[in-house]
Amino acid sequence: MRPLSNFVIRHSKLSLFGFIALVLLSLIGGFQAFGNLKGGGYNDPGSDSDKVTQMLVKDFGQTDPEVVLVVDMGRNADDVQSSSNGDLIAAELAKTDGVETVSSYYSLGRTPTLKSKDGAAVYFFAKLEEGSKTAAVSKEIQDTFSGNHFGATIYVAGWGPVTSEINHTIESDLTKAESVAVPVTLLLMIFVFGSVVAAGLPLMIAGLTILGSFFFIWLASLFTDTSTFSVNLVTGLGLGLGIDYALLMVSRFREERAKEQDVATSVEATMLSAGRTVFFSGVTVALVMISMNFFPQYFLKSFAYAGLVAVFIALAAALIALPAMMNLLGDGINKWPLFRHRPQKDEGVWSKLAKFVMRRPVAIILVSVLGLGSLAALGMNVKLGQVDDRILPSNNRVVLATDQIRDRFDGREGSPIEILVKNSDDDRVMAYAEKLSTQAHITRVKTSTGVYENGALTSSTDPYVGKYVNGNWTRIVAIADVEPRSPDGEAVTKDIRAISSNFDQLLVGGSSAIYTDALSAITTNLPWAALWIVFSTMVLLFLFTGSLILPIKAVILNFASLFATMGFLVWVFMDGNLHWLLGDFAATGTIDSSSLVLVAVISFGLSMDYELFLLSRIKEQHDLGLDTTESVAVGLQRSGRIITTAALVLAVSFFAFASSGVSIMKMLGLGIAFAVLLDATVIRALLVPALMRLFGDTNWYAPKWMKWVQKKVGLEH
């Protein structure tokens, strides 16, 4: 840290303006990122269901239609007038730029399951051209056809329109979130620092972090699929971390200047103390973010990339641009005061709170653990799901369209179960189809030998399926009457995979299988991700503190806070509470697995951030000769306001997303806001002082060989 400090002090203008110039230059590519980002990314690319998807496209020339229309004729769909109207709709739909083929109830042989139970509504399917922009074409179809047209009421659904609506909602939500978060954050900074200049520095670092991150998101999007939600993470995390690190650095600089040292000496002292803490904090958060790369879904991998980018840009801005700015400003950092700034004291509200807690540690621990345990218990009945159209508000047009499918049709024709079997003959296919058609929730089965319902052959042909056989593979299509991306869909998939057959190989795909495999990928890789988080953070915390006990305590407390947060989110989003605060969102009885992992990882990383803020001050006092009790009291006094303000800034930054119309963004915003506030209060202000009082001098214990390692690595304070 000292060489960097010396360089920044000697070359302050180069460090500051060079950094700003690089960020501004990067925007040439950075602003192009938005057009490259993708929706989706929740599926496991190495699963059986993914193999089926690829084989259907490559070998069978078959893909699910991106756009599904429900057309309510307002009369019997088989009437002459209804049929005539259907021809008009199909013709107009086929004229839309980007639409490759159009099929419907009428063109596909008037198959009964393509007609609603009341006989008035029918399916139309639009397959888009390869290479076309799905979201843009889908939006055009929605805008043109939704509503009353051609003597019918048309509802537009399908994954294309869902993606279009999500992208549009996120864009508007991002602007709204920033318009709320930035002014509130500025007010918090002014409250802490008392002057406009000092308050503006954290916002400057946050702005550089966010803008600089876009370039690397753009680079990532050139080489791999990158989720559109990564922009939200970069914005929230960049704003929060940039301000947190700047808050710590500016506060320490003003503290050092109060000692009547010259500006350069104060900057150097700030870099060697707060700068060291910021460095360790950033590396810790980055290591935690890497854990999302253990999961195969690019939705989570995107957040690993975005998180790493945001952390390292925030670190660079806080350790290069900010010290340079402080060195150039000197006491000018206090310009334009709005009220008198009071210097930090070793006695105050936070030290009194610490001493109060340490006089009765056992009682505080019991009450805190009871509260955290009660919150964690709310998540005991968690049911994991996957996102579908219902992450949008219930009055959104694509949700209303998909509700028509749920309520009025027996089978999910737009989301079939796709089964591929190898080296089969007609007899084996027929026997399997008969057995499969008798399974619970299977309405019919379509094969090369015909269509089966309830164990019987009902039709010898089915034009909807198209190609049934290619080479050694035969395609079997099953239509179920359950929501594909749900526990019911998972159960149907597992039941199908459990049916005994004498095929050489059998692969199950389709929406419900994709959901099942994605969930399996989460649960299978979660232990490895957790192991990485525990191991990496404990090693780094040991190098930071020189203690074996403190890292173990920190990890345990972070998991306690995490489980409490997860329980709270299950209570809100799975059970459908707090609508009065969050607005409209659908409680589907499940909670999105990928989003839950995302909230858990980010919350854990940010919680460790505050642990380092607090421990750095406590250790500093202990190294000066104070006993553990006094070290904790003084350390909390000197860091309590910073931690609380930092937590409030992060909470505001992310809670602004809770106003989003997309429920997984609501969950991200509320979950992280709740986690950091819980951590800054119950964990850092109550449990840390109480446990450190109980452990006493044992807090600082480490075997001699570990102390030797820390010294050799050169990271001892």
User: Which pair of tokens denotes residue 661?
Assistant: 């119309």
pLDDT at 462 over 70: no
Residue 43 within any structural domain of the chain: no
Q: How many CB atoms lie within 10 A of CB 425?
A: 9
Residue 528 within any structural domain of the chain: no
Q: Are residues 217 and 190 in the same domain?
A: yes
Closest CA to 237 of 289, 291, 310: 310
Flag the least confident range among 87-101, 168-182, 442-456, 648-662: 168-182
Flag the least confident range among 74-88, 288-302, 304-318, 376-390: 376-390
Residue-wise pLDDT for 666-705, tens only, equals 898 899 999 999 998 899 899 999 999 999 889 888 888 7
Closest CA to 1 of 311, 318, 265, 275: 275
3-state secondary structure of 127: strand
Domain containing 633 — which CATH number?
Answer: 1.20.1640.10
Q: Are residues 86 and 14 in the same domain?
A: no
Mean pLDDT in residue range 392-415: 84
Mean pLDDT in residue range 455-464: 68
**Which residues lie below 8 Å from residue 84, measured CB to CB, with a gap of 6+?**
none
Please count the CA atoms within 13 angstroms of the CA of 621 that sit on its side-chain side. Answer: 19
Q: Are residues 277 and 351 in the same domain?
A: no
Max distance between CA atoms of the chain, in angstroms, equals 94
Domain containing 99 — which CATH number?
Answer: 3.30.70.330
Mean pLDDT in residue range 203-207: 89
Residue 35 within any structural domain of the chain: no
Looking at residue 346, its pLDDT comes to 67
Helix axis angle, 549-569 relative to 593-623, nearest 10°? 150
Rounded to 5°, angle at Cα 163 from 107 and 42: 105
Residue-wise pLDDT for 547-572, tens only, equals 889 999 999 999 999 999 999 999 99
pLDDT at 334 over 80: yes
pLDDT at 517 over 90: yes
User: Which pair of tokens denotes residue 711?
Assistant: 């010294």
Q: What is the pTM of this model?
A: 0.82
Flag the least confident range among 206-220, 452-466, 495-509: 452-466
pLDDT at 710 over 50: yes
Torsion of CA 188, 194, 196, 199, to 10 degrees: -50
Domain containing 463 — which CATH number?
Answer: 3.30.70.920
CB 226 within 8 A of CB 217: yes
Looking at residue 90, its pLDDT comes to 93
pLDDT at 633 over 70: yes
Last residue in a domain, options 157, 181, 209? 157
Looking at residue 294, its pLDDT comes to 92
Q: Are residues 142 and 80 in the same domain?
A: yes
pLDDT at 713 over 70: no
Q: Which domain holds residue 457?
A: 408-511
pLDDT at 342 over 70: no
Mean pLDDT in residue range 117-124: 92
Q: How many CB atoms lie within 10 A of CB 311?
A: 27
Instruction: Give the integer Cα–Cα distance in Å for 141 and 249.
Output: 52
Looking at residue 119, its pLDDT comes to 92
pLDDT band at 464 (very low <50, low <70, confident <90, very high): very low
Mean pLDDT in residue range 660-668: 85
Q: Are residues 477 and 567 in the same domain?
A: no
Percent of all residues in the chain with a pLDDT value above 90, rounded to a whole number? 36
Residue 48, judged by CB atoms within 10 A of its CB (0-12, 13-18, 19+), counts as buried
Residue 389 within any structural domain of the chain: no
Residue 517 within any structural domain of the chain: no
Q: How many CB atoms lie within 10 A of CB 641?
A: 17
pLDDT at 714 over 60: no
pLDDT at 544 over 90: no
Highest mean pLDDT among 171-180, 218-227, 317-326 belongs to 317-326
**Which residues lie below 8 Å from residue 664, measured CB to CB, with a gap of 6+?**
229, 387, 391, 592, 595
CB 454 within 8 A of CB 437: yes
Mean pLDDT in residue range 305-330: 92
Q: Are residues 215 and 147 in the same domain?
A: no
Please count the CA atoms within 13 angstroms of the CA of 561 that sit on its side-chain side. Answer: 35
Handedness of CA 53, 528, 374, 672 (dihedral sign): negative
Q: Are residues 131 and 243 in the same domain?
A: no
Instruction: Specify the number of domains making up the chain.
Output: 4
Looking at residue 650, its pLDDT comes to 82
pLDDT band at 582 (very low <50, low <70, confident <90, very high): confident
Q: Are residues 153 and 176 in the same domain?
A: no
3-state secondary structure of 445: strand
Q: Are residues 328 and 193 in the same domain?
A: yes
Last residue in a domain, options 451, 484, 511? 511
Instruction: Give the integer Cα–Cα distance in Å for 248 and 241.
Output: 11
Closest CA to 600 of 571, 564, 575: 564
- Please provide residue 687's backbone torsions phi and psi, each rounded to the nearest 5 degrees: -70, -40
pLDDT band at 661 (very low <50, low <70, confident <90, very high): confident
Instruction: Give the integer Cα–Cα distance in Å for 81 and 658.
Output: 47
Instruction: Give the integer Cα–Cα distance in Å for 68 and 122.
Output: 10
Q: Are residues 307 and 449 in the same domain?
A: no
Instruction: Give the integer Cα–Cα distance in Å for 398 and 396.
Output: 6
pLDDT at 116 over 80: yes
Residue 399 within any structural domain of the chain: no
Q: Are residues 147 and 117 in the same domain?
A: yes
Mean pLDDT in residue range 133-159: 90
Residue 49 within any structural domain of the chain: no
Q: Whole-number mean pLDDT of the chain? A: 86
What is the secondary structure of 494-559 as a DSSP string? Answer: HHHHHS----SEEEEEEHHHHHHHHHHHHHHHHHHHHHHHHHHHHHHHHHHH--SHHHHHHHHHHH
CB 245 within 8 A of CB 237: no
H or E stretch at 478: strand 473-480
